[in-house]
């Protein structure tokens, strides 16, 4: 025969039941109210904060990316603008240079032409002077010669007049 | 590899089981006795059996509740509150019993005696009913008697050459587990109550401290104990409360689930600490009964129309099946908390018994100290087995707390589920 093993430790006793009821209810009330509920709420709040922070960061990053692309676009545009401006400037420069050259040429030609006329005028004036001088010189020479021959001779005066007449006609 | 080790250990466990029953056979007249040296004068007939170590009795004694708290060899008396119809309420310290070896009292007090840590009443006018009375050495005898066709342990105390029958305290099992209402009730804060108070106070202190930190540093990362508890807390919330109860309503039941989980876990682990009385709190049906009944009340108070209609008039089945199902469902109402109660107590007590049995190997092999070589062999065998069992028990402590909580959550979830959600679930 196998001996009966007593079930005594498993017999529920009213004393222990009442004590455990009181202890468990107190534990449930106190821990629930002052620990488990606040902890659960704090964790929920923290989780919400973390989630919203992550969302915020994501949003910010997206915005940054958008801004970055905007900046790049702007930079590209600016670069294009710059090269365009440079191109234009070059063109203007070339045009100006060529225009300047043209102008200078014209000016030079003008100056040269003016100089030519001047030279011509001076030459003419000089020629006229020379002619006059030569005329005067010839006249004085002739006068000197004639003075000596015509002093006494009226006919010679006549001849000189004819010469002068001829000279005029020239 | 692990599996093979596990199987070997299981085999060893079953191999040593017959050893216990053999011992019990030679021991039928003294189920609770342990090593009694001086009992020859009283029991010369089974004197050989008396010398033997009784593993079953020792294990039963160690998992029992007691009116004293023994740590190692030191015995701390506890308050004793007794009630009997004829004598009313009596309060005194259990030191009045002068508890000694094996928590047996050396004195009686007001007609009460202490045997193996429990209070008994000697309801006999020829036994001293007022004040203290000195009991002889080894005064307690346990006999097996046929009561109503069942073999029961009946305890006797010897006093002045006469044997007096001792009434055990009243129990709530109605005779199913060999107890029932007797001549008195024991409302004392016992060893289990002291353990429960200690664990509850520790848990309260810890959780209030953690809650304070959550309040003062809401945006800081968890630290210390908070970091230890938070994963468990989140696990219960995310794997137990929310899946079973639903995101909208779980907050209402979360404190209850957390209380159940940490209360049971704390008590399970407290019972695992060696040399601290090895209090078997969650292994006693009184405690699990209370929590299971609370769960039963909460579940059925929370039950909505849909829940009750599923119990009493199951929709979607032929009419003649409905009463049948109602019967099954009503039984289920009570079986659910019953299984909650039995599962936890059974698992934790089983763990305690297994560890005590492995430790008992030392005494069995050593023939209660008679054989040194046997003791050494017993120790060598016992240590790895006990270590293995303790590791298993650590897992069991968590698993049983978790199972109790998850089942509670599922019962609550079923009670408050909206019709809506069920329909969605079916599609």
Instruction: Enter the ipTM.
Output: 0.84
Tell me the CA distances in angstroms from B42 to B139, B140, B157, B168, one per residue in order. Answer: 9, 10, 12, 23
Q: Pick from B31, B210, B284: which is nearest to A16 by CB?
A: B284
> Distance between CA atoms of B164 and B241, rounded to whole angstroms?
55
Residues in a beta bridge with B156 = B141, B165
| Half-sphere CA count of B413, side-chain side, radius 13 A | 19
Interchain proximity B207–A28, CB inside 8 Å: no
* Cα dihedral across residues B2, B6, B8, B9: positive or negative: positive
> Distance between CA atoms of B105 and B136, rounded to whole angstroms?
10
Query: What is the maximal distance between C-alpha atoms in chain A?
Result: 210
Interchain proximity A23–B291, CB inside 8 Å: no
The two structure tokens encoding residue B377: 């062999």
Tokens 């023994």: give the residue: B70
- Distance between start and end Cα atoms, chain B: 44
Q: Pick from A23, A35, A40: which is nearest to B208 by CB?
A: A35
> Distance between CA atoms of B195 and A3, rounded to whole angstroms?
31
- pLDDT below 50 — which residues of chain B? 15-50, 421-427
Interchain proximity B188–A5, CB inside 8 Å: no
* Residue pairs spanning A and B at CB distance below 8 A: 190
Residues in a beta bridge with B157 = B140, B164
* Cα dihedral across residues B63, B65, B66, B69: positive or negative: positive
- Å from B283 to nearest chain A CA? 8
> Distance between CA atoms of B412 and B253, rounded to whole angstroms?
8
What is the per-residue pLDDT for B235? 94
Residues on chain B touching A7 (C-beta within 8 angstroms): 173, 177-179
DSSP H or E stretch at residue B381: helix B372-416
Contacts of B147 (CB under 8 A, 6+ apart): B154
Contacts of B318 (CB under 8 A, 6+ apart): none
Residues of chain A whose C-beta is under 8 A from some C-beta in B?
Answer: 1-21, 23-28, 30-40, 42-43, 45-46, 49
Residues on chain B touching A37 (C-beta within 8 angstroms): 254-255
- In this structure, the dihedral spanned by the alpha carbons of residues B93, B94, B98 and B104, taken in order and rounded to 10 degrees, is 180
- In this structure, the dihedral spanned by the alpha carbons of residues A36, A37, A43 and A46, taken in order and rounded to 10 degrees, is -150
From B340, B350, B62, select the one nearest B192 (Cα to Cα).
B62
- Å from B247 to nearest chain A CA? 12
- pLDDT below 70 — which residues of chain A? 1-6, 146-153, 167-170
Strand B79-84, strand B112-115: pairing: unpaired
Residue B317 three-state SS: coil
> Distance between CA atoms of B25 and B331, rounded to whole angstroms?
39
Give the distance from CA A126 to its chain's centroid: 59
> Which residues in B407-424 are b (16+ Cβ under 10 Å) and which e?
bbbbbbbbbbbeeeeeee
* DSSP one-letter code for B99: B
> Distance between CA atoms of A113 and B141, rounded to whole angstroms?
157
The two structure tokens encoding residue B50: 């008396």
Look at phi and psi of residue B113 and say left if phi exceeds 0, alpha if psi is from -120 to 50, else beta: beta
Contacts of B118 (CB under 8 A, 6+ apart): A8, B64, B65, B66, B67, B168, B169, B186
Tell me the CA distances in angstroms from B281 to A19, B65, B66, B290, B405, one per residue in order. Answer: 12, 8, 11, 12, 17
Interchain proximity B259–A42, CB inside 8 Å: no
What is the per-residue pLDDT for B103? 85
Residues on chain A touching B172 (C-beta within 8 angstroms): 11-14, 17
> Distance between CA atoms of B39 and A114, rounded to whole angstroms?
160
- B151 → chain A, closest CA residue: A4
Residues on chain B touching A1 (C-beta within 8 angstroms): 25, 28
Interchain proximity A2–B258, CB inside 8 Å: no
A134 φ/ψ angles, rounded to the nearest 5 degrees? -60, -40
- Å from A82 to nearest chain B CA? 51
Residues on chain B touching A52 (C-beta within 8 angstroms): none
Interchain proximity B290–A17, CB inside 8 Å: yes
Contacts of A28 (CB under 8 A, 6+ apart): B255, B256, B259, B263
Q: What is the CA radius of gyration of chain A?
A: 65
What's the predicted TM-score (pTM) here? 0.75
> Distance between CA atoms of B235 and B230, rounded to whole angstroms?
8
Q: Pick from B21, B255, B283: which is nearest to A28 by CB?
A: B255
Contacts of B410 (CB under 8 A, 6+ apart): B244
Q: Indicate which of A7, A10, A42 best probes the interface with B, i.e. most B CBs within 10 Å of its own CB.
A: A10
Interchain proximity A28–B345, CB inside 8 Å: no
Q: Are B132 and B109 in contact (CB under 8 A)?
A: yes
- Å from A8 to nearest chain B CA? 7
What is the per-residue pLDDT for B5? 59
What is the per-residue pLDDT for B316? 85
What is the per-residue pLDDT for B50? 45
């Amino acid at each position: 025969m196998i001996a009966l093993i007593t079930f005594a430790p498993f017999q529920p006793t009213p004393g222990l039941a009442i004590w455990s009821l009181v202890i468990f209810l107190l534990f449930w009330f106190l821990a629930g109210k002052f620990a488990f509920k606040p902890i659960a709420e704090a964790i929920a709040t923290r989780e919400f904060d973390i989630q919203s922070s992550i969302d915020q960061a994501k949003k910010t990053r997206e915005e940054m990316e958008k801004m970055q692309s905007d900046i790049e676009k702007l930079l590209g545009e600016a670069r294009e603008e710059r090269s365009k401006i440079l191109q234009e400037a070059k063109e203007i420069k070339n045009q100006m240079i060529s225009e300047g050259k043209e102008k200078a040429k014209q000016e030079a030609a003008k100056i040269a032409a003016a100089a030519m006329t001047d030279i011509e005028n001076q030459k003419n004036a000089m020629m006229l002077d020379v002619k006059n001088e030569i005329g005067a010189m010839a006249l004085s020479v002739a006068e000197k010669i004639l003075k000596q021959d015509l002093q006494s001779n009226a006919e010679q005066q006549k001849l000189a007049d004819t010469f002068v007449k001829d000279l005029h006609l020239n | 590899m692990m599996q093979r080790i596990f199987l070997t250990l299981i085999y060893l466990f079953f191999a040593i089981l017959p050893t216990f029953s053999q011992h019990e056979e030679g021991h039928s007249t003294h189920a609770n006795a342990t090593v009694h040296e001086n009992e020859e004068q009283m029991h010369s007939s089974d004197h050989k059996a008396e010398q033997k170590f009784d593993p079953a009795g020792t294990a039963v004694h160690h998992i029992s509740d007691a009116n004293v708290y023994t740590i190692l060899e030191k015995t701390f008396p506890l308050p004793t509150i007794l009630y009997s119809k004829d004598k009313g309420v009596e309060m005194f310290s259990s030191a009045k019993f002068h508890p000694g070896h094996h928590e047996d009292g050396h004195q009686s007090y007001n007609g009460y005696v202490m045997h193996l840590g429990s209070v008994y009443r000697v309801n006999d006018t020829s036994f001293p009913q007022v004040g203290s009375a000195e009991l002889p050495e080894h005064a307690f005898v346990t006999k097996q008697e046929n009561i109503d066709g069942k073999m029961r342990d009946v305890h006797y105390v010897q006093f002045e050459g006469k044997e007096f029958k001792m009434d055990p305290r009243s129990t709530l099992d109605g005779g199913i587990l060999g107890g029932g209402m007797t001549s008195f009730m024991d409302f004392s804060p016992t060893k289990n109550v002291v353990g429960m108070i200690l664990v509850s106070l520790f848990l309260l202190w810890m959780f209030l401290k953690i809650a304070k930190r959550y309040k003062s540093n809401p945006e800081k990362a968890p630290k210390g104990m908070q970091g230890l508890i938070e994963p468990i807390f989140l696990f219960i919330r995310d794997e137990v409360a929310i899946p079973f109860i639903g995101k909208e309503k779980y907050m209402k039941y979360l404190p209850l689930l957390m209380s159940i989980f940490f209360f049971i876990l704390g008590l399970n682990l407290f019972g695992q600490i060696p040399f601290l009385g090895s209090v078997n709190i969650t292994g006693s049906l009184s405690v699990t009964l209370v929590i299971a009944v609370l769960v039963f009340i909460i579940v059925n108070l929370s039950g909505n129309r849909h829940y009750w209609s599923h119990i009493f008039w199951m929709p979607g089945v032929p009419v003649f099946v409905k009463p049948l199902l109602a019967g099954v469902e009503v039984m289920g109402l009570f079986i659910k908390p019953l299984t909650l109660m039995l599962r936890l107590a059974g698992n934790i007590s089983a763990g305690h018994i297994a560890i005590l049995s492995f430790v008992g190997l030392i005494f069995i092999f050593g023939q209660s100290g008679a054989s040194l070589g046997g003791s050494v062999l017993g120790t060598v065998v016992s240590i790895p087995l006990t270590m293995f069992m303790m590791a298993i028990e650590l897992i069991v402590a968590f698993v049983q707390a978790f199972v109790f909580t998850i089942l509670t959550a599922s019962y609550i979830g079923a009670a408050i589920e909206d019709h809506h959600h069920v329909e969605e679930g079916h599609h």
